Chains A and B, each alone.
Chain A
Amino acid sequence: MDAIEVRGLRKTYKGHEAVRGIDLTVTRGEVFALLGPNGAGKTTTVEILEGHRRRTDGVARVLGEDPGTAGRAWRARIGVVLQDTDDAADLTVTEMVRHVASLYPGPRPAAEVLDLVGLTDKHKSKIRALSGGQRRRLDVALGIVGRPELLFLDEPTTGFDPAARRQFWDLIRALAAEGTTILLTTHYLEEAEALADRLAVLAGGLIVAEGTPATLGGRADAGAKVAWRENGMLREEQVADPTDLIRQLVKAETDLSTLTVTRPTLEDIYLNLIGAGR
């Protein structure tokens, strides 16, 4: 059974269609990234799958149940990492982790969770005294304390500095290695590339492409641009496979000190896709 199965999902707010019929399959143990610009429908989609929002139409199965009607036992199997929270400011980190743990059957020990997210030396701090990045790591701690089979992460690293983001990626990889299925939304392409086994690009409420970071949007077949300087002149050629061209250049004893071979980055593909989706 797949972790998430969505067919023809739609959500309309007062005449505005935020999600316009999407299909999505996330298999067990997979890290799946949902990419897209602001307003593309990422958060709406995730909130429907978390059971926080009602869908207007379509079929959704999350861990085999309909998230619109699933009960407590189902909630115990999913983990939700919220964005923009401000709760429990007067509790300490340990108090809050222990409290949320107490709501689950068989939770992880608080100390283990704090170690996983790197907040061990902050365990006695008041939550209001945490920095933005520490606060987000606490949100992750609270999302995983119940040992979820499926974890939802909605734009988890917004506002992180680069070092904190790398640390966070290691945490996600560790969770994935334990077998946790992860659905991640992000608008950072390098994040999707670093973490996701598969990803989908959402634009204007529709999925405009789906694949692996290597193949998304025809990236694997997009060819390469070979560029070099010859007699002070810039030469550029677009080829499917640069091997033959470079072999010829070597044979011709061309000066290759300025040679570059560029393949489209995920960002090129992505910008192209969301441009097309509008």
Chain B
Amino acid sequence: MTTAAVALPSTVSNGLSRGWVETLQFLRDRTAVIFTFAFPAMLLLLFGTIFGDSYDDTGVSASQVYSASMIAYGILSTAFVTMGSGVALDREDGTLKRLHGTPITPTAYVMGKLILVLILSVAEAAILILVGILIFDMPVPDAAHWLTFAWLFLLSTFACTACGIAVSAIVKHARTAGAILNVPVVALQFISGVFIHPITQLPSWLITVASLFPVKWMSQGFRYVFLPDSMKQYEAASQWELGRTALVLGAWCVIGLVLCLVTFRWTEKDR
């Protein structure tokens, strides 16, 4: 036979094909769709309604601060949790084993996941931003701030996805994935200025710990995008620190990718 004469499909086209079926499967699971999107929006509505006070003389309300910070939570929960449990589920139901029997590359598989996560995160961020703007009068940023939003969003999503895939290697069963993955997620929310802001209320060693992880930089960055410049006085360094944010998130993208490549296994027990 001369099958070798026909070129193998490219990793990009395989990756797009994966992205298509990943998205199709996600959208058909109505429960997952509703909970993924509604939960962060519900939390924002609750927090925004309960804590309506203003930050002294800045004229910015706590609900507006939540609207900005919660985008970090939205990305973290869709990218990190969806990925971590999604890969564990793929390992358990035979998806990975099936793919391993085909000429697909691991990169194409990860690309498919990334496409799904990007679609989910865009939708998630859009819902949170709309709630912030329509219900809590969060100001609409100008073009320069949207540009920052774009790179911040991409770096955040990629870092969280890569870490999610890496963590899936230690998640043995899809059943326990939610419980395991929510530990770092919830802990980081509390110490990273998402649920509790100003972050300066925390003991300084806890701020140092939070600064090692991406969430603190994500929520700080989104506050830069959506809040007036005067709000920077409530940040840990009284600065927006955009350069450092880019560096930390970039580093986490690299760490996540390396962990991903080192720990990724097609099958449960590699051998």
A, B bound: yes
Interface residues of A (CB under 8 A from B): 13, 50-54, 72-73, 75-80, 82, 84-91, 95-96, 99-100, 102-106, 142-143, 146-147, 149, 179
**Chain B residues, Cβ within 8 Å of A91:** 21, 24-25, 28
CB of B9 within 8 Å of the partner chain = yes
**Chain A residues, Cβ within 8 Å of B14:** 102-103
Given contacts A90-B25, A102-B14, A105-B3, contact A75 B101 (CB under 8 A): yes
User: Do B95 and A75 touch across chains, with their CB atoms under 8 A apart?
Assistant: no
User: Do A75 and B94 touch across chains, with their CB atoms under 8 A apart?
Assistant: no
User: Do A99 and B103 touch across chains, with their CB atoms under 8 A apart?
Assistant: no
User: Do A86 and B94 touch across chains, with their CB atoms under 8 A apart?
Assistant: yes
Given contacts A86-B93, A106-B6, contact A100 B102 (CB under 8 A): yes
User: Do B102 and A53 touch across chains, with their CB atoms under 8 A apart?
Assistant: no
Closest residue of A by beta carbon distance from B266: A52
Closest residue of A by beta carbon distance from B90: A87
User: Do A87 and B98 touch across chains, with their CB atoms under 8 A apart?
Assistant: yes
**Chain A residues, Cβ within 8 Å of B266:** 52
Closest residue of A by beta carbon distance from B99: A103
**Chain B residues, Cβ within 8 Å of A105:** 3, 6-9, 103
**Chain B residues, Cβ within 8 Å of A100:** 98, 102
Interchain CA distance A87-B87 in the complex, whole Å: 12
User: Do B93 and A72 touch across chains, with their CB atoms under 8 A apart?
Assistant: no
Q: Which of B1-17 contact A (CB under 8 A)?
A: 1, 3-4, 6-9, 13-14, 17
User: Do B29 and A103 touch across chains, with their CB atoms under 8 A apart?
Assistant: no
The size class of the interface chain B forms with chain A is 20 to 34
Given contacts A52-B100, A73-B103, A76-B8, contact A99 B17 (CB under 8 A): yes
**Chain B residues, Cβ within 8 Å of A147:** 3
**Option from B20, B103, B271 in Cβ contact (under 8 Å) with A53:** B271
Known pairs A80-B98, A82-B101, A87-B98 / 18 extra A-B pairs, C-beta < 8 Å: A52-B266, A53-B271, A75-B102, A77-B1, A77-B4, A79-B101, A85-B97, A87-B90, A88-B21, A88-B95, A91-B24, A95-B24, A96-B21, A102-B13, A102-B17, A105-B3, A105-B103, A146-B103
**Chain A residues, Cβ within 8 Å of B267:** 52
User: Do A87 and B102 touch across chains, with their CB atoms under 8 A apart?
Assistant: no
CB of B105 within 8 Å of the partner chain = yes
CB distance from A50 to the nearest CB of B (A): 7
User: Do A99 and B9 touch across chains, with their CB atoms under 8 A apart?
Assistant: no
Interchain CA distance A13-B271 in the complex, whole Å: 9
CB distance from A99 to the nearest CB of B (A): 5
CB of B104 within 8 Å of the partner chain = yes
User: Do B25 and A88 touch across chains, with their CB atoms under 8 A apart?
Assistant: yes
User: Do A103 and B102 touch across chains, with their CB atoms under 8 A apart?
Assistant: yes
Closest residue of B by beta carbon distance from A149: B1
User: Do B103 and A84 touch across chains, with their CB atoms under 8 A apart?
Assistant: no
User: Do B21 and A149 touch across chains, with their CB atoms under 8 A apart?
Assistant: no
Closest residue of A by beta carbon distance from B100: A52
CB distance from A75 to the nearest CB of B (A): 4
**Option from B8, B21, B99, B104 in Cβ contact (under 8 Å) with A73:** B8
User: Do A142 and B98 touch across chains, with their CB atoms under 8 A apart?
Assistant: yes
**Chain B residues, Cβ within 8 Å of A76:** 3, 8, 102-103
User: Do B21 and A99 touch across chains, with their CB atoms under 8 A apart?
Assistant: yes
User: Do A77 and B3 touch across chains, with their CB atoms under 8 A apart?
Assistant: yes
**Chain B residues, Cβ within 8 Å of A51:** 100
Given contacts A88-B25, A104-B9, A106-B6, contact A50 B101 (CB under 8 A): yes
CB distance from A30 to the nearest CB of B (A): 15
User: Do B103 and A103 touch across chains, with their CB atoms under 8 A apart?
Assistant: yes
CB distance from A190 to the nearest CB of B (A): 28
CB distance from A277 to the nearest CB of B (A): 25
Closest residue of B by beta carbon distance from A54: B271
**Chain B residues, Cβ within 8 Å of A13:** 271
Query: Lowest 6 CB-CB distances: which A-B pairs, in order?
Result: A80-B101, A85-B94, A105-B6, A106-B6, A90-B28, A87-B95
**Option from A88, A89, A104 in Cβ contact (under 8 Å) with B103:** A104
Interchain residue pairs with CB less than 8 A apart (29): A13-B271, A52-B101, A72-B103, A73-B4, A73-B8, A75-B101, A77-B3, A82-B101, A85-B97, A85-B98, A87-B94, A87-B98, A88-B25, A90-B29, A91-B28, A95-B24, A100-B98, A102-B9, A102-B13, A103-B9, A103-B14, A103-B99, A103-B102, A103-B103, A105-B6, A105-B9, A105-B103, A149-B3, A179-B1
User: Do A72 and B8 touch across chains, with their CB atoms under 8 A apart?
Assistant: yes
- Interface-centre pick from B25, B90, B94, B101 (highest chain A CB count, 10 A): B101
Closest residue of B by beta carbon distance from A75: B103
CB distance from A110 to the nearest CB of B (A): 13
**Chain B residues, Cβ within 8 Å of A99:** 17, 20-21
User: Do B13 and A82 touch across chains, with their CB atoms under 8 A apart?
Assistant: no
